[in-house]
């Protein structure tokens, strides 16, 4: 289905005699269902007929009109590259700022979960020796005593783990 804006462009081409057959068929279909575009076609045709009936004759441009027009067109400043970049920046900077604000908001709202550290890591973080408790076991002179202390320390840590699970 054609919209009225597209139909208006095609109506202008139809009145000028520049409309192709495929577009002409599409425009005819639109004009059948759209009374405002049909009215617009009628007005354009009336205007064209009125202007063609005027038959203005004997009107000549002023002397040297063409040369003066060309000279004036050459002196008109063309937009520079900087003007185009300024227009682009005017549109790009606000978009960039919005994206930056969204990213900052997302980073602020999505904070990483608290990292669980082992007891050894906590002791190292606090500049304490993590082997301080176990060092006494290894300083025992008798191997039997050392082994018994290590065995009971292991049983104690398992008991703590079991209590934590319950």
pLDDT tens for 73-116 read 888 777 677 777 787 888 888 899 999 999 988 888 887 777 77
How far CA 120 is from CA of 55, 102, 131, 132, 133, in Å, comes to 102, 39, 8, 11, 11
In this prediction the pTM is 0.37
Listed ranges 25-34, 51-60, 130-139, 146-155; the one with the highest mean pLDDT? 25-34
Domain segments of the chain as ranges: 4-57, 119-165
Q: How confident is the model at residue 72 (pLDDT cuts 50, 70, 90)?
A: confident
Helix H, strand E, coil C: the string for 64-96 is: CHHHHHHHHHHHCCCCCHHHHHHHHHHHHHHHH
Q: Which range among 20-24, 37-41, 117-121, 158-162 shows the weakest confidence by mean pLDDT?
A: 158-162
- The yes-or-no verdict on residue 153 having pLDDT over 60 is yes
| C-alpha angle 152-123-135 in degrees, rounded to nearest 5 | 40
């Amino acid at each position: 289905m054609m919209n009225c804006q597209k139909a208006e462009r095609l109506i202008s081409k139809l009145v000028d005699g520049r409309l192709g057959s495929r577009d002409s068929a599409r425009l005819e279909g639109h004009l059948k269902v759209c009374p405002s575009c049909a009215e617009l076609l009628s007005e354009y045709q009336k205007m064209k007929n009125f202007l063609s009936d005027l038959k203005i004759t004997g009107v000549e441009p002023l002397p040297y009109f063409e040369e003066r027009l060309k000279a004036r067109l050459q002196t008109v400043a063309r937009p520079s590259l900087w003007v185009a970049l300024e227009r682009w920046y005017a549109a790009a900077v606000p978009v960039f700022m919005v994206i930056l604000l969204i990213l900052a908001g997302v980073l602020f709202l999505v904070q990483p979960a608290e990292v669980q550290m082992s007891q050894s890591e906590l002791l190292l973080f606090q500049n304490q020796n993590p082997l301080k408790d176990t060092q006494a076991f290894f300083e025992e002179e008798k191997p039997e005593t050392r082994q018994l202390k290590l065995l009971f320390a292991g049983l104690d840590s398992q008991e703590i783990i079991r209590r934590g699970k319950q």
